[in-house]
Amino acid sequence: MTARILVVDDVEPNVRLLEAKLTLEYYEVLTAGDGATALRIASDERPDIILLDVMMPGMDGFETCRRLKADPVTRHIPVVLVTALDGREDKIKGLEAGADDFVTKPIDDVILFARVRSLLRLKSVMDELREREESGRRLGVDTDGAGRLRGSGGRILIVDDNERQARKMIEHLAGEHRPTVESDPAAALIAARGPVDLMIVNVSSAEFDGLRFVAQTRSTEASRRTPILAVVDPADRPRLLKALELGVNDILPRPVDPEELEARTRTQIKRKRYADFLKEKLDYSLEMAVTDALTGLHNRRYMAGQLQGLMNRAGQGGEPVALLMMDLDHFKLVNDSFGHDAGDEVLREFAVRLATNVRAIDLPCRLGGEEFVVVMPGASLEDATHVADRIRRDVAAQPFPIMGGAEGLTITVSVGVAASTGLDDTPDALLKRADEGVYEAKARGRNQVIARAA
């Protein structure tokens, strides 16, 4: 994949070294020795990627990045900041300035080219969307927003047997995404068939062969296009190179740096969503039509379509489908006592707790108001009841922060559980049984799980 890359650094030997490395990989290289020149070249030449050094006299890399991202002509160009090895604060400041990625000095060639290839793929789909939007505007079609698909709210499958490492990744990602962990590669392969936006795989795992897992996902149709972020020891060069050869999209060095984890995750999820957008010929309004804007979960329309397909397969002898119907207890009192903004905070927090307590293959949705549903492919009534009770306990265990964390409310949820029964079962009947379970849970005093068999 060839491209034009703008290298910005005030140290001439650094510029020449990067220029030589990139030219050997058949990239066309432009150079600038200061921020002002970089802004002019970026505006005139429209490079595909900008490699921008942080430490420059006059206008430093952060200010240059801010100006690039503020200009409509250049804001779509990916910017990679080049930071010092211990420049953790630089990374944070760079991300706040709008940088898309960063590499550290001394620059590792393998890591650099992995970053460049990853961002070039992202830019290629972004450019295609921008062209479609422009064509639509010329034809008088309202396509504004097609390029706004974000790299947040992603469904992330972490495949790792290192419990401590996986837990830390969950902690850093849970505020912005919906991560789940699988330590068993066989179970992870099954989970990867679901709507997963990104897999983070420990290819240095002690208990399973991470490289073999990557190879298996790339040979399976359902997971072939799912981006993979490989966690690997940078000193283990053969494994790092093999992971890239097998098709991982990017490398995350151990020990995992939180800011780097978040930046790489956003890049991969954004690329996946843009690519999916193009592949399925969706527009922005359709994307919003199936997503609940408040919680980031899917909405009733999306749930109905997915449930119908799963029920059809179940009725033809396929795997069963279970369903959880949930209603927050006394939610009206929250709105009446603290206002609708506090109610929205509760709903968003509930969505996070809900999504982190279901399987990667499950589909959590908001029906509307304080009502939520989880569609569970392949789950029995007993399995679904167990998950429902786990959700109920997690909701009641810790107060829900409201008013920006100034107050905490004790919230509980009533849950109805139902599972498909065979050929004559329908989505409406399944939803009705689960809804009846919710009513019974409310009648019994709330904060309960009721399973309703046919």
Dihedral sign, Cα of residue 181, residue 356, residue 94, residue 130: positive
The residues annotated with a catalytic role in the active site are: 370
Q: Which of 317, 306, 330, 329 is nearest to 430 (CA)?
A: 306
Amino acid in position 409: L
- Give the residue from 404, 436, 183, 155 showing the smallest Cα distance to 291: 155
Order of strands across the sheet that contains 250-253: 178-182, 155-159, 198-202, 228-232, 250-253
Cα–Cα dist 261/268, whole Å: 11
Cβ atoms 283, 393 nearer than 8 A: no
d(CA 6, CA 24): 15
Tell me which DSSP letter residue 425 carries.
Answer: -
Nearest to 125 by CA among 149, 107, 160: 149
Main-chain dihedrals φ then ψ at residue 288, nearest 5 degrees: -70, -25
- Residue owning tokens 């905070």: 345
